[in-house]
Amino acid sequence: MNSNNGDLLSRFKQLAALREFIMVVVIIVFTIIMSLATPIFITWLNIEAILMALSVEATIAVGMVILLISGGLDLSVGSTLALVGVVTGLVLVVGVSAVPAILIGLLAGLGVGLVNGILIAKMKINPFITTLGTMITVRGLLLILAKGRAVLNLPDAFTVIGQGRLFGIQYPIFVLTFLVIAGDLLLRNSRFFRQSYYIGGNEDAARLSGIDVDLVKIFNYCLVGVLAGVAGLLLTARFGSSSVTVGSGIELRVITASIIGGASLNGGEGSVLGAFLGALFMGMLANALNLLGVDVYYQNFITGLILILAVVFDVLNERRKLSQ
Amino acid sequence: MQNILNVERISKSFPGVQAVDDVSFGLRHGEILALIGENGAGKSTLVQILGGVQKAEAGQIFLDGEPIAFASANDALQAGIAMVFQELSLVGGLSIAENIFANRQPVGALNNIQWRSLYQQTQEVLHRFNLDLDPATLVKRLVMGQQQILEILKAITTNPKVLILDEPTSSLTQAETAALFENIRALQSQGMSFIYITHKLGEVFELADRVMVMRDGKKIDILEVAEVSENDLVSRMVGREIGDIYGASSADLSQDEEYFRVEGFAAKSSFQNVSFGLRRGEILGLAGLVGAGRTELARSIFGIEPRDSGQVVLEGEAIDIKRPQDAIEHGIAYLTEDRKRQGLFLDMHVAENLIAPLLNMFTRKTGFLNFPEVEDHAVNQIERYGIATPSTKQKVLTLSGGNQQKCMVAMWMGLQPKVVLFDEPTRGVDVGARFEIYQKLRELTSQGIGIIMISSELPELIGLCDRILVMHQGQITGEVLKEDFSEELIMSYAAGIMNQ
């Protein structure tokens, strides 16, 4: 281990063992194969389409993966996404200007996160049941607020964030890039954010180490709520109207992306980069299947297979390492 | 010289038991104080109070002359008392560095972790303790022994005045233990004081300056290690009166042949080279300290835990037990030491519990359960075993500890087993129910059923058994015949001091 060669080799082995590295390799290989199958795949137009579709799921994934790492779970993100879209839409049509409207919308997202966080952290109710409950309740709430119909004709001052461009690249892609980079940097380097790893790894020990477990948990749920709100705003701005049905089922895709990217449902593992790569891969897959003219139903089938494969691979890998 | 720690009249009770009873002692500056006692003597509770994990109900503690009142383990850590528990508190998915400096990583102005400084400090600590490990290695890649050392390093790096270690060497190899001791002595010479809980009396003599013995929550004695012998310690750890609730042993066993034999049992980390026989109607005790491997052995015989080698011979036939079903089919019953979580179905009612291992017996050809028969059986068993319950449909959760235990006994006896493995028969059971359980055991033996009984209570073993095997760290260190029964003798084998 002292010679330079041995050091380099072991560092490479450590790198190769990282889920993120494996994902990057898989994505590169996939890109090469796909671009040979259909040259459209690699055009800027197509890449932009992938990234735009990605901007919603990946934005939420940034928060979801941090939550998963701390041992939590949030099934209500789809409903929160739609709620924020509706709240902002309703506020805009009565004449409130864009920026305050956005803030009010995000506040609604924060509110949902706060409710989840307090029920789960303080009252110790199971996250699955709690967020299942808020998922249903919030969906009902937004239907009530929107009186069951979409909110149409939103002002340009707002829709520009979903449809406008900066240097030729659409705004949502900037938001996505910023969130992924900021999220990954924070989760890797901020002592506060890394507390989630300790909590997910061993909650009692985390408490004994002086970590304010309840505070971190509530923070995480609020973060996910706000990010779901951001995703909702991007989506609403893009389409120019607040849909009441949007977001259903997105929670499972976001969780899947996080797990493919290395997170574990038990907590203590995962990364923002990994979650992004997981979402990217899922997005590329959907896009590729579309280009190849494959039935849309196959997408779910294949995504599910990949999720199972990722988890089985993980389990086998751990067993192999333990028996060494 | 003033003591670093003065503990005065500390008491703490839990429902039904006085865990710490009016304990007073002082820890000198730079001393290593060993803390010994049987299972349940109160050692863990006492140190948990010192470490801020539990609160005392009475008494005072002075650290460096100042009275202290810790609201949490973190308070204790800040004041300078660090604890290393037996259960690991490491996070497998994080690096060695981030585990040692858990939530104490060096940070910059933006709360951002300063990685270079972190890895450097970690490297220094690892170096000081002669560990050739990369600080970035994920903890889940380390073996148990290394993880346990990390656990200790975690506490040491907080620079405590007092370090409390609870059985730190249970998973360490000889070499790792020696290295640990060297480091403890080095830290001692720099002024750190230690409280060291151990079951291995050899360690007391190797490491400690003084030793404190606890029993039944009380401090029995605190002695200079240089002035005591092993026997002095053993006799102080033990020393209780044995009442006569055990009844008389069943008739003369000398003619009875061995009808059940366990040969060459070994499982890598739990036990090695275990062989013994059981005679009809015999109560064979299995004594030893926590971690000796007795439960693992029993579970292995029953087929729950795998083993590397070993054979079971019942009534002359070698039988192959790979799963509990195999053991049950051959008439072997196993009563777990953890009846609440592994033995009974607390939310189900008495009748449902009583037939749990016997479902086949009550299933009709159609696949449906024969409820009238189940009811009859339940009523019979309730009467036979004296289970105090208003009806067969009472949820087992609501029964008292003693009645729950009787329920578990009735559950397995419905099998009409040939061999009974009974793990801690009277744990959490009141005196009245104990008597009844002992009676039932005597009844079973009079029918020729052999019982292998694991127990941590010496009086119980001595009162009930015909023969006692003692285990220490996975091996049988002694076999004590009835005429030689004595608590000191058994304890000596259990502590590894003696070995046949």
Residue B1: pLDDT band with limits 50, 70, 90 = low
Whether residue A282 lies inside any domain: the answer is no
Task: Over range A128-137, report the average pLDDT.
Answer: 96
B162-166 and B193-197 strand pairing: parallel
pLDDT in tens, B13-70: 887 778 899 999 999 999 999 999 876 678 888 999 999 888 999 999 999 889 998 8
Half-sphere exposure of residue B378, counting CA atoms within 13 Å on the CB side? 24
Best-predicted range by mean pLDDT among A70-79, B124-133, B372-381?
A70-79
Rounded to the nearest integer, the mean pLDDT of chain A is: 89
Whether residue A291 lies inside any domain: the answer is no
The secondary structure of A244-258 as a DSSP string is SSTTTTHHHHHHHHH
Q: Which ipTM was obtained for this model?
A: 0.75
Q: Is residue B239's pLDDT more than 70?
A: no
Compute how many other C-beta atoms are within 10 angstroms of the C-beta atom of residue A136. 13
pLDDT in tens, B170-228: 667 777 788 889 889 989 998 999 999 987 778 899 999 999 999 888 999 999 999 98
Whether residue A111 lies inside any domain: the answer is yes
Pick the closest to residue A67 from A263, A261, A210 (CA basis): A263
A237 within 8 A of A161, measured Cβ to Cβ:
yes
Beta-carbon contacts of B40 under 8 Å, excluding residues fewer than 6 positions away, are B216, B456
A68 within 8 A of A265, measured Cβ to Cβ:
yes
Domain span holding position A49: 43-246
The chain B residue lying nearest A17, using CA atoms, is: B138
Residue A258: pLDDT band with limits 50, 70, 90 = very high
Q: Which of A72-86, A213-227, B144-158 has the lowest mean pLDDT?
A: B144-158
Whether residue A161 lies inside any domain: the answer is yes
Residue B500: pLDDT band with limits 50, 70, 90 = confident
Q: Is residue B460's pLDDT more than 80?
A: yes
B258-267 and B193-197 strand pairing: unpaired
**Is A210 in contact with B89 (Cβ distance < 8 A)?**
no
pLDDT, residue A307, reads 81
Residue A313: pLDDT band with limits 50, 70, 90 = confident
Whether residue A320 lies inside any domain: the answer is no
Q: What pTM did the predictor assign?
A: 0.72
Beta-carbon contacts of A316 under 8 Å, excluding residues fewer than 6 positions away, are none
**Is A208 in contact with B89 (Cβ distance < 8 A)?**
yes
Q: For B34, list phi and psi in degrees, rounded to 5.
A: -85, 145
The chain B residue lying nearest A209, using CA atoms, is: B74
The chain A residue lying nearest B77, using CA atoms, is: A209
B490 within 8 A of B237, measured Cβ to Cβ:
no
Whether residue A232 lies inside any domain: the answer is yes
pLDDT, residue B245, reads 59
pLDDT, residue A314, reads 76
DSSP-derived secondary structure letter, B483: G
Task: Over range B272-292, report the average pLDDT.
Answer: 89
pLDDT, residue A3, reads 43
A198–chain B Cβ distance below 8 A for any pair: yes
Question: How many contacts does A have with B, using Cβ atoms within 8 A?
Answer: 69
Task: Output the CA–CA distances (angstroms, integers) from residue A45 to A41, A170, A175, B295, in the order listed.
Answer: 9, 11, 18, 66
Tokens of B174: 């000889």
Domains and CATH numbers, chain B: 3-237 (3.40.50.300), 258-494 (3.40.50.300)
Residue A1: pLDDT band with limits 50, 70, 90 = very low
Whether residue A150 lies inside any domain: the answer is yes
pLDDT, residue B497, reads 82
In one letter, which amino acid is B278?
Answer: L
Residue bearing tokens 């938001």: A175
Q: Least CB-CB distance to B91: which of A10, A14, A197?
A: A197
pLDDT, residue B428, reads 67
The span from the CA of A250 to the CA of A60, in Å, is 9
| Residue B15 Cα to chain centre, angstroms | 20
Q: How many domains would you assign to chain A?
A: 1
Rounded to the nearest integer, the mean pLDDT of chain B is: 86
Angle among Cα B422, B423, B426 to the nearest 5 degrees reads 90
The span from the CA of B335 to the CA of B420, in Å, is 8
Whether residue A318 lies inside any domain: the answer is no
Q: Is residue B246's pLDDT more than 70?
A: no
The chain B residue lying nearest A205, using CA atoms, is: B89
- Which of B89, B100, B157 is the best mutation test for A, with the most CBs of A within 10 A? B89
Task: Over range A35-62, report the average pLDDT.
Answer: 91
pLDDT in tens, A274-308: 999 999 999 998 898 888 888 878 877 887 888 88
The span from the CA of B107 to the CA of B118, in Å, is 9
Half-sphere exposure of residue B274, counting CA atoms within 13 Å on the CB side? 30
pLDDT, residue B255, reads 57
| Residue B385 Cα to chain centre, angstroms | 28
A317–chain B Cβ distance below 8 A for any pair: no
pLDDT, residue B241, reads 36
For A:171-190, CB contacts with B below 8 A are 189-190
| Helix boundaries (H) for B208-266 | 230-237
